[in-house]
Each structure stands twice: as C-alpha cells, then as structure tokens.
Homo-oligomer: A and B are copies of this chain.
Amino acid sequence: MTVEVGLRERKKAATRAALSAAANRLAVELGVEHVTVEAIAAAADVSPRTFHNYFSSREEAIVASIVDWADRLTDELEKRPADEPMWDSLQRVFLDSVDESPDGHARLIRQLEMIKANPAVIASQLSALETMRRRFAETIAARTGTDASIDLYPHLIAGAAGHAVKTAMDLWALGQHDRPLRDLIAEAFTLVRAGLPQPDPSRS
C-alpha cells in the first residue's frame, strides 16, 4: 500500500498538501477567524468546491499537518526492533521527532499558539491526536500480543505516551521554563512510567 505512484495519485497528494499547507500558513499569518475556505482554495489554486473534496472542514485542513506527523510516527514505531520494551520504543520515536533547531522551535510555538487561540481548532487537534492514538494502539497491540478490541493495555500506553508529549509541549510553549523541550518530554515519560507517584511536598 501507498506505493502507487501514478501521476494521478501524485497529483492528489500534491493538491492535498498544497491545501493543508496554505490553510496552515494562512491561519498562522492572519489568525484562524480571518481565513476563509475561498482564500485557502485560491492559495492552492483550486476551486472552493475542490477544497471540500479533500477536507470536510476548514479546521481539518489547518491541522492536517498533525495527521501527517502522526503517520510518520506510526511508521517509525513499526520500524523499531520487536524486542525493544514498548516504553523505550515510544520514547525514542517521540523524542526523535522533535525538531530541535531554533527555527523548528519558533515554528512549533507559532503553531501551538495559533491552535490554542481557537476552540474549533483545538477540537480538531484533539481529534487528530485521537486518531493517532488509535493507530498507535493498533501497532502496539500487534507487537505486544494484545488485542486492541479487548485489552486496555495498548490504548492506555498509547494515550499515556501521547498525552505526556502533548503536556510537555503545552507547558514548554507557555514559556515559563528555560529547559529544553526534549528534557521536558523525557521527564514526562519518566513520571508516567513510574506510575505518577505523589510528588514530594518538600521539593522546591
């Protein structure tokens, strides 16, 4: 699958990418409320009607990059050695996906801020993350010999890992920290893997 490279499929993928890129860029630049489907379609050189053949809502197009990211992550996860402990695989895959360049950081922060500013986009983001979570659960189930339609484990660990990363990013984007994002993510993983023991009140 995903190996058909006819002109047709390539064009479709290109159109989809152009639409989501345009949607995302315009949302960051102008603010979500000031972006219309018409403007997105124009920026991607297709008709407004075509936009709706690819995305069922403006918000979906804006957060489509999350879905792409999730697809890449799922692939990476599947490539990890089968005997690696699940938590190690998850941590590795997420940590490796973080772009640590200053430019990447700036972009990520602008993204998170744009998303946070609009409830409808937040909702779409959560949907995208939920989709990722489900895909992860399937992969994890296959690897751990569990069944995603019966066992809690694959869903719980996929959710815990995803939520750890999201929490670390959200907190990091608040800018109250000077710690690198990687450190925060690693700490979040450590806490969750330890079962989130009650923090020591004497600390700090």
Contact = CB atoms under 8 A, between A and B. Distances in A.
A123 B119 contact: no
A163 interface: yes
Residues of A contacting B: mostly: helix
Work out how many copies of this chain go into the complex.
2
Band of interface residues on A? 35 or more
A56 to B, nearest CB: 7
Contact of A156 (B56, B163, B174): B163
A144 B201 contact: yes
A103 interface: no
Given A119-B56, A126-B123, A151 B199 contact: yes
A81 to B, nearest CB: 14
Contacts of A87: 196, 198
B192 A156 contact: yes
A122 B131 CA distance: 11
A2 interface: no
A187 interface: yes
Interface of A: 56-57, 85-87, 119-120, 122-124, 126-127, 130, 144-146, 149-153, 155-157, 159-160, 163-164, 167-168, 170-171, 174, 176-177, 184, 187-188, 191-196, 198-199, 201
